[in-house]
Amino acid sequence: MFLFLAGALLAVGITNCGVQDECDPAYALLCESVNHDDPNVRIGAIMGLGLAYAGTQKAEVQVSILSVLCVAL
């Protein structure tokens, strides 16, 4: 069940790659799942955030991703 969710989160990141919008729909959808209990969902959300915001240098995205990575280390 959670593999479908992880794939959907990754798809959101891919489809929003290079899209610039004031309301940041990709961030709104993906940031909630970064701290999910299932590791597959977390990986899908992190990969989706990375793809959607690659090259934008958004501080919110950096904080979301680094908070998970620092806990994992």
Tell me if the pTM is above 0.85: yes
Residue 34 confidence (pLDDT): 92
Residue 49 near residue 36 (C-beta atoms within 8 A): no
User: What's the pLDDT band for 73 if we cut at 50, 70, 90?
Assistant: low
Report d(CA 54, CA 1) in Å as an integer. 28
Does 40 or 72 have the greater pLDDT score? 40
Which residues constitute the domain of residue 10? 2-72
Instruction: Measure the CA–CA gap between 24 and 48, rounded to whole angstroms.
Output: 13
Contact indicator for 26, 12 with CB cutoff of 8 Å: yes
* Number of domains comprising the chain: 1
